[in-house]
Amino acid sequence: MARKVVDEPGEEIVANARMARESSRGPFARLSLFIKQVFAELRKVVTPTRKELLSYTGVVLVFVVIMMGIVSLLDWVFGLAVLYVFGTPG
């Protein structure tokens, strides 16, 4: 059975957050802590390779084209139904 992996914040982030809660900090100190935490999280980001990026882009484009087709088909069917119920415009 697959193990569930949960992304937990680093110990440095938790320690900084605890320290911030325990002592009342001014607005600039809180802003500084926030920015440090943002940079710590950004260091965890893994950028996709060119091959992965092209693959993801292709999947998204195919999905969008399929959804456009489905929505267009439904629009056409409902348009025919409205014309049948209410008659021809004019």
pTM over 0.95: no
Per the prediction, the chain carries an average pLDDT of 86
pLDDT of 1 over the 60 cut: no
Question: pLDDT tens across 14-27, in order?
Answer: 777 777 566 667 88
Backbone angles phi, psi at 70, to 5 degrees: -65, -45
Q: Give the integer Cα–Cα distance in Å for 84 and 68.
A: 24
